[in-house]
Amino acid sequence: MNKVTFREDLCKGCGLCVLACPKKIIALDTEKLNKKGYHPARMTDIEKCIACAMCATMCPDVVIKVEKDV
């Protein structure tokens, strides 16, 4: 299975990764605030992830790491 990790403590909740995801499986976590006071991004359904890394490419703060299952 592909793996996507977010450095939630550094995420500023800009939502660019949400817009970039072709599968629409990333959302801002409105239930949580990080230590900077932002709603961090989270994966909603990792099973549907195709590891295209569009989210990581769009992230201006480089807080997303995508690992493709081989």
- Report the Cα–Cα distance between both ends of the chain, in Å, rounded: 8
Q: Which CATH class is domain 3-67?
A: alpha beta
pLDDT mean over 22-38: 97
Query: Is the confidence at residue 17, as pLDDT, over 90?
Result: yes
pTM above 0.85, yes or no: yes
Distance in angstroms (rounded) separating the CA atoms of residues 4 and 55: 10
Q: For residue 70, what pLDDT is reported?
A: 81
pLDDT mean over 45-53: 97
Q: Report the percentage of the chain scoring pLDDT > 70.
A: 100
Distance in angstroms (rounded) separating the CA atoms of residues 41 and 8: 7
Distance in angstroms (rounded) separating the CA atoms of residues 10 and 57: 16
pLDDT mean over 3-10: 97
Residue 63: how many other CB atoms lie within 10 Å? 19
